[in-house]
Each structure stands twice: as C-alpha cells, then as structure tokens.
C-alpha cells in the first residue's frame, strides 16, 4: 500500500510539474505570437495614419470613411513646390531666374514614403491582419475643442486584441484584456489617435 501511494504521489508530482511547465511555455508562446502579430497590425495602422495625414493636408480634416480614404490614395494627387535657382545668387535674382515651380504627384506614390504599396495593398488597408475575414479597423474622425478653445481635427483608428488574437490561447487573451482594462487602464489593442484629445496622431505603442 505504501509503495502504491508513493507511486501515485510520484505520478501526481510529475503531472503537476508538466502542467506548470506547459503553462509557462504556453504563456511564452502567447507573448511571442502577440508581439509578432502586433507588429504587423502596427505597420498597417501606420499606413492608415500616413494616408489620413495626407487627406487632412488636402481637405483640412480627417475622414471616418475607408471608402473615402482609399479612393483619395488611389485617385488623388498632392501638390509640391520645387525651387529653381538660388536666392543667394544675386545675378540670377536680378535676371528673374529664381522662381518656384509647382508640380503634382499621385498620392499613392508619395504618401507612404520609401515604402511603395500596390493598389491591392491600399484596398486592403481597412482590414485587420490575422482577424476573421472582412474584419475592419474601427475608425472615426471629427473635431475636438482644446482647453484653449482651439478647434482641431482629430481621428482615431484601432484594432482590439480580441480581433487579431482570437485564435490564440483563450485564457491568455482574457488575462491580457483584463490587465489592459483594470490594471494599466489602457486600450486593449492597437490604437492611433483619439477622439477626445489632441494627440498629434500618436499611437499607443509609441
């Protein structure tokens, strides 16, 4: 009987040890997967922010519509200025050779900097990576009055963790969302901008 109890205890200890190790590795896997997915979501939301900033440059406001934003990127252009000649050259100035020339470039060719997006990539900006098919970023736009009574255009765009981590460890996801809401009091997901503050379009990862 004593040996049977010892064997059972040994089995229980091994099982508990395995369970503890598995929990640790499960947590590590979840953290690694979350970090990898979050990086991809952040890159896409950065592209949305770039598009919104260019839209505001032209329209003096942001838009809450992905249809409007995507159409702007694919079909509109931005105006730039190029200086011809040097203002430090007095002879050129006297001869009227120093002037400013305006030219336009397609938004899609300029808005994302060195990163060039294809037409299909622009059309897919609205969709949250790793989320269920067709799941869009939550986007809003409007005007905000600061404490100094200045009215400024604002926008926000966000992707909840529950959308792009839904197929990962359920309990780990619940724990993550709970920590964000109750302990750290931050948005449980990736977010840029805000509707209730002038944030200069900052992201919550920055």
What was the pLDDT predicted at 18? Answer: 47
Tell me: the pLDDT tens digits for 87-120? 556 655 555 666 677 878 899 999 998 888 999 9
Per residue in 47-78, pLDDT (tens digit) is: 999 999 999 999 999 999 999 999 999 999 88
Beta strands of 124-182 (E only): which ranges? 138-145, 151-160
Residues written for the chain: 206
Closest CA to 64 of 136, 198, 153, 155: 155
Rounded distance, CA 117 to CA 109, Å?
8
Does 86 have pLDDT greater than 80? no
pLDDT of residue 8: 59
pLDDT in tens, 4-23: 665 556 555 655 554 545 55
Helix/strand/coil for 177: helix
Query: Quick one: CA torsion of 50, 54, 60, 62, rounded to 10 degrees?
Result: -40
At 182, list the tokens.
């109750």
Residue ranges covered by each domain of the chain = 2-74+116-193
Q: Write the CB contacts of 186 (distance below 8 Å, at least 6 apart in sequence).
A: 180, 204
What pLDDT shows up at residue 48?
A: 98
pLDDT at 80 over 90: no
pLDDT of 25 reads 73
The reported pLDDT for the residue numbered 34 is 98
Q: Cα(135)–Cα(44) distance, rounded to whole angstroms?
A: 14
Q: What is the dihedral of CA 81, 151, 138, 126, to 10 degrees?
A: -10
């Amino acid at each position: 009987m004593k040996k049977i109890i010892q064997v059972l205890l040994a089995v229980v200890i091994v099982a508990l040890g395995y369970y503890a190790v598995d929990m640790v590795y499960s947590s590590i896997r979840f953290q690694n997967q979350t970090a990898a997915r979050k990086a991809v979501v952040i890159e896409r939301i950065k592209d949305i922010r770039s598009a919104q900033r260019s839209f505001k440059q032209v329209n003096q406001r942001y838009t809450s519509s992905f249809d409007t934003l995507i159409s702007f990127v694919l079909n509109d252009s931005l105006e730039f200025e190029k200086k011809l000649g040097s203002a430090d050259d007095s002879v050129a100035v006297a001869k009227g050779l120093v002037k400013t020339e305006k030219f336009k470039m397609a938004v899609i060719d300029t808005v994302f900097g060195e990163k060039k997006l294809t037409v299909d990539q622009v059309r897919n900006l609205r969709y949250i990576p790793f989320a269920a098919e067709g799941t869009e970023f939550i986007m809003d736009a409007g005007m905000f009055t600061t404490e100094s009574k200045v009215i400024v255009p604002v926008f926000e765009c966000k992707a909840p963790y529950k959308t792009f981590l839904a197929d990962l460890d359920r309990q780990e996801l619940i724990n993550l969302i709970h920590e964000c809401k109750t302990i750290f009091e931050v948005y449980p997901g990736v977010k840029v901008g805000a509707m209730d503050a002038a944030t200069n379009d900052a992201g919550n990862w920055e």
